[in-house]
Amino acid sequence: MAAAGSSPSIVEYFGGEDGYRCGYCKNESGNLSHGMWAHSMTVQDYQDLIDRGWRRCQALRFQSSKSHKKVLKKMLKFISKGDVSKVASEEEPMDSHIEDVVTCDFAYKSESHVSQSELTPLSVDHPERVENEDKDTGETKEVNEQKVESGSPQICADKDTPVPGEPSHSAKTVHAPPKPGKGADLSKPPCRKAKDIRKERKLQKLLQNQMCTLEGSQLQGGDQVFLLQNSKSKTNQPKTIEDFVFVSLPDDARHKLEVRLVPVSFEDPQFKSSFNQSATLFAKYQMAIHKDTPSDCGENEAENAPNGPECGYGSFHQQYWLDGKIIAVGVIDILPYCVSSVYLYYDPDYSFLSLGVYSALREIAFTRQLHEKAPDLCFYYMGFYIHSCPKMRYKGQYRPSDLLCPETYVWTPIEQCLPLLEDAKYCRLNQDVKAVDEGRIKELGRVRVLHKRTVMPYSVYKKRRKGPSDEASVQQYASLVGQTCSERMLLFRS
């Protein structure tokens, strides 16, 4: 990514009208994407682009579910005692829509049409030539190549279907009476869970301690009830994810887990020294989980801001080191308003730890940490939510969450969206009939274009263009990125 003030975003747009293979539902034409190849990209443009097509979780208000806490406890038990049963559970995928760029046959996935020589005249070594009706100016420095995919809906056609021969879920089950000598003994009190017994003993002990501090004052029945209720309220406070993630481990813990945040840059010594191990793990994951071949697993700079987090903005790897070995890598982007989860790959030998869920919870906790330094950074983005694809529904379990209306680009609570998505795969999520896309393209002629080493508005480029009109493609690009980004980024035209 490039610095916001010195290097404008330079992008090539690739409209995709033909469907291609979806990595989730395996439909050969179920994925429709409109993509861009970014030669350079500022973090603010990246933020504004994903705010026109991605789903977000309100990290500061996040409430972990019982299943989330179960995963966190399992990891703590494994680290402390090392006795977690290695029973492979179905791992929730943590891949965002970027996975389709990595694993699917997306057009232009490894090269672009523009040569480096066509872009260098905009560098500091050559004076920039700008032709603009309003005399707009712009300049670029070094060009970093990066792929960005727009927030167009991805449609998965497959749905759950009944399995022939299996009983219906609605069928009634008739239970026969227990045989003699089996079943509950009605003459004895009902069994109680050990967890409930421990809680009761703890409350009784706490009550006794509180009673002792009253220095001989006699408690009435109502006082005892008050103390008991007060004790329950203190002991039943829900734990946050930080209580599980940042807990102190015993000195004799069987394992050591360390999470390192490493900038995606070969100039960073940590990234460079761990690259081979990380690349080997990626290949192992892709071949085991996504059935890639070895040939499919081939091989940015951080941007600092005065009011941003200490690590800066940009692309990072969160490396999970277990006993000196990388077992998982979370690819994330840290942006002005959010942490965006791009991809996760992990060692399949550790699937029993539910690393997909665990890493998501760690990233939410990390977002909350960054918020303390950068107050505007308060959201966690997980990529597309595809309601009709079972493998993508897990994202709806991280709440409170919002979905972006594809017509008005207004964030809408997911609870309001789910009934609508049950009725139709595509729908307008914002129910305000008067609402419109405030960031929609209003003047196509103001779209900034880079043509023959010169920055100009589309209205000027259109007059000079030779050959068939490309207005439909530019119109599509501008409608997807919005007026603000279309007037700030440079759209390369050959």
Domains of the chain: 1-41+98-150+439-494 (no CATH), 55-92+240-407 (3.40.630)
- What was the pLDDT predicted at 207? 65
- What was the pLDDT predicted at 332? 96
- What was the pLDDT predicted at 191? 65
- pTM given for the model: 0.70
CB count within 10 Å of CB 353 equals 26
- What was the pLDDT predicted at 362? 97
- What was the pLDDT predicted at 193? 67
C-alpha dihedral sign at 110, 113, 118, 124: negative
- What was the pLDDT predicted at 467? 87
Contacts of 264 (CB under 8 A, 6+ apart): 271, 300, 314, 315, 316, 317, 331
The list of the chain residues with pLDDT below 70 reads: 1-6, 16-17, 23-25, 54, 85-193, 206-236, 295-303
**Alpha carbon distance 178, 40 (integer Å):** 71
- What was the pLDDT predicted at 64? 92
